[in-house]
């Protein structure tokens, strides 16, 4: 075995997987996991821990994999994370723990994410559960939203003894983990639901179909229903559009709507009565993970798919692994290209998109080179469906219905970063509701920080 190289991981063949919704990555076997774990040199001052937003004891759990004590490896991870099978699959490890892994200086970093996934899958398949909280203090806290931020805050508060209730607007808990990220990257029944059940098993109640701001307000929860503190983890579910002509045509979707229909309403499963109309030729506008997910979903639903992105490949914000998988599966890329108008037929349906070529100028405020239109370079893409994936912002409902809750110009809740405390006493917030669209692990980190601060606040209130 070459210790400089990661133990390769099996994946479904691109030609086969382009036609199904089963998981792309097949995971390590025990022997492969032990071999990969043996590449870790157990650094004394482990940089990987500092690179992890929830500070998992990475060398500690990896060492237990080497010892083949996977139960212990799982219990170590579980002290820090409620969602290891999920994070092992979707966290951008290449810019976090693996980016700073000492092994990566000469050769490949240790495959930390794939090892985390192995441990969590093994624990689930072998019926191993996280340990239960011992003491209950009977004090009630409410969590709004059941995405990674809310679930993490709920786990931490339940472990500290609080009586925790999550209020979730949709009929199923999980946030983007269930309605956004597709099955072929993150299986719902096999992976997401069991990790949510582990949080529920700590005594956390999850009330679905409750839209806070409509069914009940934060003020009512705190003043009438006895919740002493509230954590808002309501995410950033409001899609952005370009504002170009033709955007209201039939056949134009936001990536959110497209993916929600596929994931939550099972549009990809022919045995359900909730199909989605996908034309034969689809363009996805945008270059992030969400755009890759929408493109790869449309491909699996039988379309020929093109990603349209105004900068170059270097600036694509999606994870490298996702871009690589999309290319392998046959997604086309029109880079340095910007849509100008969606062309509509006489019945109001999309028939094409007029685009213009771009070139990169000086760096803008974001540090990335600004795309500039090349005059006279217009061309038409022949299409039936356009999926807009241009980012999202928080839904204004909670802010507009809660007294004293401040937001910034992007519609995000303003909090003290160190504690997650908002401008309203007793109300904490974190995850995409505060940052706008970010990542699973950052949302989890924010849930954890807020839980600690909520506990401090409640203890001080008690005195």
What stretches of 272-349 adopt beta strand conformation (E)?
Answer: 281-285, 304-308, 332-334, 337-344
Using CB under 6 A, pick the residue from 33, 48, 85, 284 that binds ligand SF4: 48
Does 40 interact with ligand SF4 (rule: CB under 6 A)?
Answer: yes
Report the alpha-carbon distance of residue 204 to residue 220 in Å, rounded: 20
Encoded one letter per residue, x for contact with ligand FAD by CB under 6 A and - for no contact, window 194-233 reads ----------------xxxx-------------------x
Residue 102 engages ligand SF4 in binding (rule: CB under 6 A): yes
Q: Which region among 84-92, 96-104, 310-318, 399-407 touches ligand SF4 (by CB under 6 A)?
A: 96-104
Q: One symbol per residue from 258 to 287: x for binding ligand FAD (CB under 6 A), - otherwise; what is it?
A: -x----------------------------
Helix 320-329, helix 289-300: angle, nearest 10 = 20
- Residue nearer to ligand SF4 on the CB measure, 36 or 432: 36
Does 115 sit near ligand FAD (CB under 6 A)? Answer: no
> SS3 of 42, please?
coil
Per-residue b or e along 110-148, where b marks 16 or more CB atoms closer than 10 Å to that residue's CB: bbbbbbbbbbbbbbbeeebebeeeeeeeebbbbbbbbbb
Q: Which two tokens stand for residue 152?
A: 């993490």
- Our CA angle for 166, 167, 170, nearest 5°, is 125
Tell me: does residue 183 bind ligand FAD (CB under 6 A).
no
Task: Annotate 151-160 with b (16+ C-beta within 10 A) or e (fewer).
Answer: bbbbbbbbbb
- Give dist(CA 244, CA 256) in Å, integer: 19
Comparing C-alpha atoms, which of 79, 82, 73 is closest to residue 201? 82
Q: Minimum distance from CB of 25 to ligand FAD (Å)?
A: 12
Q: Which does 112 bind (CB under 5 to 8 A by kind): ligand SF4, ligand FAD, none?
A: ligand SF4
Residue positions counted in the chain? 463
Contacts of 409 (CB under 8 A, 6+ apart): none
Which among ligand SF4, ligand FAD, none contacts residue 52 (Cβ within 5 to 8 A by kind)?
none
Give CA separation, 332 vs 64, 104, 323, 329, 379, in Å: 43, 31, 11, 9, 16
Of these partners, ligand SF4, ligand FAD, none, which one is at the site of residue 176 (CB under 5 to 8 Å by kind)?
ligand FAD
Cβ proximity to ligand SF4: between 68 and 136 the closer is 68
146 binds ligand FAD per the rule CB under 6 A = yes
Binding partner of residue 148 among ligand SF4, ligand FAD, none, CB cut-off 5 to 8 Å per kind: ligand FAD
For residue 216, what are the β-bridge partners?
212
Helix, strand, coil content of the chain in percent (nearest 5): 35, 20, 45
Contact call for residue 65 and ligand SF4 (CB under 6 A): no
State the number of binding residues for ligand FAD (CB under 6 A): 42
One of 59, 431, 454, 455 touching ligand FAD (CB under 6 A): 431
DSSP tally for the chain: helices H, then strands E: 17, 18
- Selected from 65, 73, 101, 437, the binder of ligand SF4 by CB under 6 A is 101
Q: Is residue 76 within the footprint of ligand SF4 (CB under 6 A)? A: no
Q: Kindly state whether residue 103 participates in binding ligand SF4, applying the rule CB under 6 A.
A: yes
Binding-site ranges for ligand SF4 (CB under 6 A): 40-43, 46-48, 58-59, 101-103, 110, 112
Binding-site ranges for ligand FAD (CB under 6 A): 90-92, 144-150, 167-170, 175-176, 180-181, 210-213, 233-235, 237, 259, 289-290, 293, 395, 397-398, 431-433, 437-441, 443
């Amino acid at each position: 075995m070459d210790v400089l190289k990661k133990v390769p991981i099996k994946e479904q063949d691109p030609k086969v997987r382009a036609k199904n919704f089963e998981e792309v990555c097949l995971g390590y076997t025990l022997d492969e996991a032990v071999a990969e774990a043996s590449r870790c040199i157990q650094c004394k001052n482990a940089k990987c821990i500092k690179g992890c937003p929830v500070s998992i004891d990475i060398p500690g759990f990896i060492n237990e994999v080497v010892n083949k004590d996977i139960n212990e490896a799982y219990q170590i991870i579980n002290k820090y994370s409620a969602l290891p099978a999920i994070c092992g699959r979707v966290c951008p490890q290449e810019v976090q723990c693996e980016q700073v892994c000492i092994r990566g200086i000469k050769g490949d970093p240790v495959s930390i994410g794939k090892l985390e996934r192995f441990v969590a899958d093994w624990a689930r398949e072998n019926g191993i559960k996280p340990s239960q909280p011992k003491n209950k203090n009977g004090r009630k806290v409410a969590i709004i939203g059941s995405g990674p931020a809310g679930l993490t805050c709920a786990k931490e508060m339940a472990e500290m003894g609080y009586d925790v209730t999550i209020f979730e607007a949709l009929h199923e808990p999980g946030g983007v983990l269930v309605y956004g990220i597709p099955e072929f990257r993150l299986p719902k029944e096999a992976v997401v639901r069991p990790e949510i059940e582990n949080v529920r098993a700590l005594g956390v109640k999850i009330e679905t179909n409750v839209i806070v701001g409509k069914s009940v307000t934060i003020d009512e929860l705190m003043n009438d229903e006895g919740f002493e503190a509230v954590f808002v983890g309501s995410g950033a579910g409001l899609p952005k559009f370009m504002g170009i002509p033709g955007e209201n045509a039939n056949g134009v979707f936001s990536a959110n709507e497209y993916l929600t229909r596929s994931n939550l309403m099972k549009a990809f499963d022919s045995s359900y009565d909730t199909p989605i109309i996908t034309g034969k030729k689809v363009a996805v506008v945008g270059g992030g993970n969400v755009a890759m997910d929408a493109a790869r979903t449309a491909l699996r639903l039988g379309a020929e798919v093109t990603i349209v992105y105004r900068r170059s490949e270097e600036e694509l914000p999606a994870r490298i692994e996702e871009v690589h998988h999309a290319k392998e599966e046959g997604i086309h890329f029109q880079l340095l290209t910007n849509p100008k108008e969606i062309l509509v037929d006489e019945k109001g349906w999309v028939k094409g998109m007029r685009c213009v070529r771009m070139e990169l100028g000086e760096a803008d405020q974001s540090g990335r080179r600004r795309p500039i239109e090349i005059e006279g370079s217009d061309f038409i893409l022949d299409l039936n469906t356009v999926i807009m994936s241009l980012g999202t912002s928080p839904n204004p409902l909670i802010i507009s219905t809660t007294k004293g809750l401040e937001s910034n110009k992007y519609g995000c809740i303003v909090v003290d970063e160190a504690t997650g405390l908002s401008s309203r006493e007793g109300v904490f917030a974190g995850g995409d509701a505060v940052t706008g669209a970010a990542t699973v692990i950052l949302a989890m980190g924010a849930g954890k920080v807020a839980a600690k601060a909520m506990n401090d606040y409640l203890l001080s209130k008690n005195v």
